[in-house]
C-alpha cells in the first residue's frame, strides 16, 4: 500500500530519524524492515503499525491516509492495540473506514439559534475533542460529557460523571430512550430517560433523589442517545 509507505517515510523524516534509528526505536534489529515498508515491498502488520505510530507520534488513521478526523481517539488506538495479534492490516483499514468521529461539545456552547433551528451550527469548529463510533450517525451528531449524579444508578444502566454520550438529533426517539432535552424557561440542557406513564411523557433521572419532569411545550428534546463511554 503506497500511502502507508509514503506516510511512514514522511513521519520518519519529520522526526529526523534514519531508517536504522527508527528500526531500533521500534525494537527491530535491522533497517531492512523499514526500508521494505517505505518502498511498499511489504505491508506492516497491525502490531508493527502500532509500534511505528507510537515512535513517530502519529495516529494509525494518519498512517493509513485517512482524513476522517484530526486525530485518532485514544479509545480506538487502544482497541487496535488490544486486537493487534488478531487483526490484519486490511482489517484495520476496514475498521477505520467504518469509524465516524463526532465533536464533543460543552452544552453551554449550544446557543439558542442552534436549538431553535433544530440543528447545531459549526460544532466541529468549536470542538477540541472527538468521540469515535461505529454506529450509523447523522452529520449533525455530537457528544456531551455527563455532569452531576442525576443519571447515576446503583443498579442496571448508569451514567456517572464525565460519561461521554453521543447524541443524534435526527434519530427518532420513543419512551425508554435516553435523550438530551432543553428546558426553555431556564435555558438548561439536561440528559434524562424518556418514559411514559398513564398516557403522559416524563423525563426521568436514574438517581431516585431527583424528581421527574413532565414533558411540555416548554421542553424540547434535542436528540436521542446512541452510545455512551465512560472515561477511565
pLDDT, tens digit, 9 for 90 and up, residues 126-182: 455 677 787 888 878 888 999 999 999 998 999 999 999 999 999 999 999 999 999
Do 62 and 122 fall within a single domain?
no
Q: Given this model, what pLDDT does residue 125 score?
A: 40
Higher pLDDT, 112 or 123: 112
Do 168 and 214 fall within a single domain?
yes
Question: 108: buried, middle or exposed (CB in 10 Å: 19+, 13-18, 0-12)?
Answer: exposed
Q: Given this model, what pLDDT does residue 82 score?
A: 66
Do 130 and 205 fall within a single domain?
yes
CATH number (domain holding residue 154): 2.10.109.10
Distances 164 to 11, 131, 167 between C-alpha atoms, Å: 31, 8, 10
Cell digits of residue 214:
413532565
Do 170 and 92 fall within a single domain?
no
- Work out the angle at residue 178's Cα, subtended by the Cα atoms of residues 175 and 179, and round it to the nearest 5 degrees: 100
Q: CA-CA distance, 23 to 26, in Å (whole number)? A: 5
Do 115 and 215 fall within a single domain?
yes
Do 70 and 159 fall within a single domain?
no
Structure confidence at residue 83 as a pLDDT band (50, 70, 90): low
Mean pLDDT for the stretch of residues 84-103: 71
Structure confidence at residue 72 as a pLDDT band (50, 70, 90): very low
Q: Given this model, what pLDDT does residue 193 score?
A: 98
Looking at 98, 119, 139, the residue that finishes a domain is 98
Q: Count Cβ neighbours within 10 Å for each residue of 143-177 and write b for 16 or more, e otherwise.
A: bbbbeebbbbeeeeebbeeebbbbbbbebebeeeb
Mean pLDDT for the stretch of residues 89-110: 73
Q: Given this model, what pLDDT does residue 62 score?
A: 79
Looking at 48, 72, 98, the residue that finishes a domain is 98
Do 126 and 193 fall within a single domain?
yes
Do 107 and 209 fall within a single domain?
yes
Q: What is the pTM of this model?
A: 0.62
Mean pLDDT for the stretch of residues 38-57: 86
Structure confidence at residue 63 as a pLDDT band (50, 70, 90): confident
Q: Given this model, what pLDDT does residue 180 score?
A: 95
Cell digits of residue 110:
449550544
Mean pLDDT for the stretch of residues 185-190: 87
Do 113 and 166 fall within a single domain?
yes
Q: Indicate if the pLDDT at residue 49 is higher than 60.
A: yes
3-state secondary structure 105-155: CCHHHCCHHHHHCCCCCCHHHHCCEEEEECCCCCCCCEEEECCCCCCCCCC
What's the total number of domains in the chain?
2
Q: Given this model, what pLDDT does residue 95 score?
A: 72
Average pLDDT, the chain: 82
Contact, 3 vs 65, CB < 8 A? Answer: yes
The range of the structural domain enclosing residue 158 comes to 102-230
Q: Indicate if the pLDDT at residue 26 is higher than 50.
A: yes
Do 75 and 8 fall within a single domain?
yes
Residues 6+ apart with CB under 8 A from 140: 119, 120, 168, 169, 170
Looking at 66, 98, 130, the residue that finishes a domain is 98
Question: 194: buried, middle or exposed (CB in 10 Å: 19+, 13-18, 0-12)?
Answer: buried
Q: Given this model, what pLDDT does residue 110 score?
A: 63
Q: Given this model, what pLDDT does residue 146 score?
A: 93
CATH number (domain holding residue 60): 1.10.260.40
Q: Given this model, what pLDDT does residue 105 score?
A: 81
Higher pLDDT, 42 or 72: 42
Do 129 and 215 fall within a single domain?
yes
Q: Indicate if the pLDDT at residue 227 is higher than 50.
A: yes
Do 127 and 50 fall within a single domain?
no
Amino acid at each position: 500500500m503506497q500511502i502507508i509507505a509514503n506516510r511512514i517515510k514522511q513521519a520518519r523524516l519529520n522526526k529526523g530519524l534514519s531508517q536504522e534509528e527508527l528500526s531500533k526505536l521500534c525494537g527491530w534489529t535491522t533497517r531492512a524492515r523499514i526500508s521494505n515498508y517505505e518502498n511498499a515491498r511489504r505491508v506492516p502488520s497491525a502490531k508493527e503499525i502500532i509500534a511505528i505510530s507510537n515512535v513517530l507520534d502519529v495516529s494509525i488513521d494518519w498512517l493509513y491516509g485517512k482524513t476522517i478526523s484530526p486525530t485518532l481517539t485514544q479509545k480506538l488506538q487502544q482497541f487496535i492495540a488490544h486486537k493487534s495479534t488478531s487483526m490484519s492490516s486490511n482489517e484495520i483499514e476496514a475498521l477505520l473506514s467504518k469509524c465516524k468521529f463526532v465533536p464533543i461539545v460543552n452544552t453551554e456552547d449550544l446557543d439558542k439559534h442552534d436549538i431553535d433551528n433544530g440543528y447545531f451550527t459549526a460544532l466541529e469548529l468549536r470542538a477540541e475533542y472527538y468521540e469515535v463510533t461505529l454506529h450509523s450517525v447523522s452529520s449533525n451528531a455530537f457528544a456531551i460529557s455527563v455532569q452531576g449524579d442525576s443519571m447515576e444508578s446503583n443498579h442496571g444502566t448508569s451514567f456517572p460523571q464525565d460519561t461521554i454520550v453521543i447524541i443524534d438529533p435526527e434519530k427518532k426517539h420513543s419512551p425508554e430512550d435516553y435523550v438530551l432535552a432543553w428546558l426553555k424557561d431556564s435555558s438548561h440542557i439536561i440528559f434524562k430517560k424518556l418514559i411514559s406513564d398513564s398516557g403522559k411523557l416524563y423525563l426521568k433521572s436514574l438517581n431516585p433523589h431527583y424528581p421527574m419532569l413532565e414533558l411540555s411545550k416548554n421542553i424540547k428534546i434535542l436528540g436521542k442517545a446512541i452510545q455512551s463511554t465512560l472515561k477511565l
